[in-house]
Amino acid sequence: MPEMSAIHSSRVDDVLRRSAARSPHSTALTFEPRSWTYRELDDAVTRAAAELLAFDLDSQARVATYGSNSDAYVIAFLACSRAGLVHVPINNALTGDELNYLLTDSGASLVLADPGLAPQVAQVSDVPIVALRDADDSLLSRVRTADGPVPAIPEPDVDESGLVQLLYTSGTTSAPKGAMMSHRALVHEYFSTIVALDLTGNDAPLHVMPLYHSAGMHVWMMPYLAVGAANHLLPSADIATILERIETARAGSIFLAPTVWVPLSQHPDVDMMSFTGSTRAGTAVMKNAADGIKRVALELGGKSPNIILDDADLQKAVSRSMMHMAMNTGQSCNAPSRMLAPKSKYDEVVAIAAATANAIKVQAPSTGEQGSIGPLANANQFQKVQGLIQKGIDEGAKVAAGGVGRPDGFNRGYYVKPTVFADVNNSMTIAREEIFGPVLVVIPYENEDEAIKIANDTPYGLAAYVQGSQEKARKVAKKLRAGNVHINGAQGGMGTPFGGYKQSGLGREGGHFGLEEFTEVKAAIGWGE
């Protein structure tokens, strides 16, 4: 494909081409003793595509890849894309009938296999086999030993909406099904991942997740190739090797499945675990660390109170708080989700909160305006939030805004109505559990002492909020059991310590307190004698 068209293309292989154009001499990928610059890797993909086309495969022919993690695996996937073929990744643990099913169902015309796995293919199928690597005639060897200029290959007759991969499900509940992944869909996923995870070219990521899985290839490897990072690939998730490469390669990011985190947390070379996530997961981390007496720092969940004092500017304080609550579609661990209002002004507080919630626009990310909110993270979270909204209704709370179901204009997707509950007491489920959605509960109180008691009556203690005169707010803030107390909407700076009391975690992030979490005190007795 010509360079100029590749600039604007949403084809998968052009993700690499663009990075090679920007940073041709930067390291793209290391694997065992081999290292590839972006130019070298892009040239290798073109040479591999030419090798595949030499098999006289039809456009969109299926090419299965059956191997463990390697640089050759990455090249094979991208070469299929560049040649207009459809890549079929196969779990290298599958054998026999399971392997045969995927080869047959996908209609594979060719199998690229690690030499050690090739016999498994030959036992169940007569599909032609080409060694992927570690053999004199392997695809990788042909690419690495090729002489002369990089061959010119014909532009494939596959546009951005065309198929680039058949990605099979695990088959845990029924026969595996091949998800049809288009170029455009995958490229959009890559750039969404870059934005969502804040991936940069300076991260030096370490790759250990299997590349046959969407997480390994499409959430980690390809987005990092898109931003021009130096990617360090391991053949498997060996804990000792992971720790060694983190140190030697100065890896700045890593993506691991829970099955890898558990043995990592138990490894004797790990002195400390720092974890951000749910309280349930944090509990598991602590249990895994206990056998080795490891230090643990945890930043977990919250159910943050927001006390509206009787001398607060209600319109300003309540509307601001509701907007803060809805930020990130309510998916913030420190969201001010429990609003405490004086009984004398309760109805007014509820009315302002409801009006603010009703004014919040819910929009798709592609068309979202500033100040709008989008969908929740996934289907499970959507169902959880809907269930808790219904639970609030069942327990007697009054819906002042929002409620169950999707907002007007949405009949699909994980979109939730910005919701305000009135007539809530602190014993209700919606006042106790972290909802992690745009749901605000408003609880009345008689006096400041009761407000403080209700605010502290929670298993969490990540953040708290106080709105009112500075003198009163400071007095109340001193009595709140939370790691951060925000007065009148104030936000912390970069050096502000962040962390919680009780089940919201252990330790602090940010500033010198955060640095202290990762240090040990050593007393050198007699140093000066």
Strands in 402-438 per DSSP E: 419-422
How many Å apart are CA 12 and CA 181, to the nearest integer?
11
Q: What confidence score (pLDDT) does residue 5 get? A: 43
Looking at residue 273, what is its pLDDT?
A: 86
Average pLDDT of the residues of the chain: 93
One domain, residues 163 and 87? yes
Query: CA dist 235 to 5, 32, 167, 210, Å?
Result: 35, 8, 21, 8
pLDDT in tens, 344-386: 999 999 999 999 999 999 999 888 898 899 999 889 999 999 9
User: Do 425 and 294 share a structural domain?
Assistant: no
Angle between helix 12-22 and 71-83 (nearest 10)? 110
Residue 206: Cβ within 10 Å count: 22
> Residue 148 belongs to a domain with what CATH number?
3.40.50.12780
Are both 230 and 309 inside the same structural domain?
no
- 105 and 246 in a common domain: yes
On whether the CB atoms of residues 65 and 87 are closer than 8 A, the answer is yes
Q: What is the pLDDT at residue 7?
A: 43
CA 227 to CA 12: how far, in whole Å? 14
Order the strands of the 398-401 sheet from edge to edge. 398-401, 419-422, 439-445, 338-342, 305-308, 463-467, 484-487
Are 153 and 288 within one domain?
A: no
Q: Are 55 and 31 in contact (CB under 8 A)?
A: no
Specify the pLDDT at position 9. Answer: 62
When pLDDT is averaged across residues 230-234 and rounded to a whole number, the result is 96
With CA atoms as reference, report the closest residue to 451 among 471, 418, 473, 422. Answer: 473
In the predicted model, what is the mean pLDDT of residues 206-227?
Answer: 96
Instruction: For residue 146, count other CB atoms closer than 10 A to its CB.
Output: 16
What token pair was written down for 146?
Answer: 């090729």
Alpha-carbon distance of 388 to 273, in angstroms, equals: 32
Of the candidates 40, 80, 333, 509, the residue annotated as catalytic is 333
Q: In what order do the strands lie in the sheet with 505-506?
A: 272-276, 295-299, 505-506
pLDDT at 44: 97
Cα 445 from chain centroid (whole Å)? 39
Q: What is the pLDDT of residues 285-326, one digit of tens each?
A: 888 888 888 899 999 999 999 999 999 999 999 999 999 999
**500 and 483 in one domain?**
no
What is the predicted pLDDT for the residue at 238?
87
Residue 310: per-residue pLDDT? 96
**pLDDT (0 to 100) of residue 147:** 85
Q: Are both 479 and 508 inside the same structural domain?
A: no
* Residue-level pLDDT at 387: 98
Active-site option among 40, 299, 434, 509: 299
Amino acid (one-letter) located at 101: Y
Q: Is 333 a catalytic residue?
A: yes
Q: Is the pLDDT of residue 3 over 60?
A: no
Phi-psi region of 199 (alpha: psi -120 to 50; beta: other; left: phi over 0): beta
CB atoms within 10 A of CB 127: 18
Same domain flag for 221 and 277: no
User: Rounded mean pLDDT of 241-260?
Assistant: 87
Output the pLDDT for position 125. 95
Do 286 and 431 belong together in one domain? Answer: no
- The lowest-confidence range among 271-285, 359-373, 446-460, 488-502 is 271-285
> pLDDT digits over 391-437, tens only?
999 999 999 999 999 999 999 999 999 999 999 999 999 999 999 99
Give the C-alpha separation, 423 to 443, whole Å: 7
Confidence label for 6 from pLDDT (cuts 50, 70 and 90) = very low
Quick: pLDDT tens for 316-355. 999 999 999 999 999 999 999 999 999 999 999 999 999 9
Determine the angle formed by the axes of helices 258-266 and 239-248, rounding to 10 degrees. Answer: 80
Same domain, 258 and 325: no
453 has a pLDDT exceeding 60: yes
Q: Same domain, yes or no, for 144 and 200?
A: yes
Q: What is the DSSP letter of 217?
A: I
Q: For the chain, what percent of residues have pLDDT higher than 70?
A: 98
Q: What is the domain-level CATH number for residue 383? A: 3.40.309.10
Residue 2 has pLDDT above 60, yes or no: no
Query: What pLDDT score does 16 carry?
Result: 97
Q: Both 256 and 275 in a single domain?
A: no
Task: Count how many domains the chain has.
Answer: 3
Q: How confident is the model at residue 1 (pLDDT cuts 50, 70, 90)?
A: very low
Determine whether 299 is an active site residue: yes
Query: What is the secondary structure of 48-77 as a DSSP string?
Result: HHHHHHTT-PPTT-EEEEE--S-HHHHHHH
152-166, 429-443, 445-459 — which is least confidently predicted? 152-166
Q: Please, which pLDDT band fits residue 10 given cuts at 50, 70 and 90?
A: confident
231 — pLDDT class (breaks 50, 70, 90): very high
Number of helical H runs and strand E runs in the chain: 20, 21
The yes-or-no verdict on residue 8 having pLDDT over 60 is no
User: Which domain does 292 fall in, by range?
Assistant: 271-300+495-529
Closest CA to 20 of 1, 2, 40, 34: 40
Backbone angles phi, psi at 324, to 5 degrees: -65, -40
**How many angstroms from the chain centroid is the CA of residue 74?**
21
Q: pLDDT at position 237, please?
A: 86
What's the pLDDT at 233?
A: 97
Structural contact between residues 151 and 46, judged by C-beta atoms closer than 8 angstroms: yes
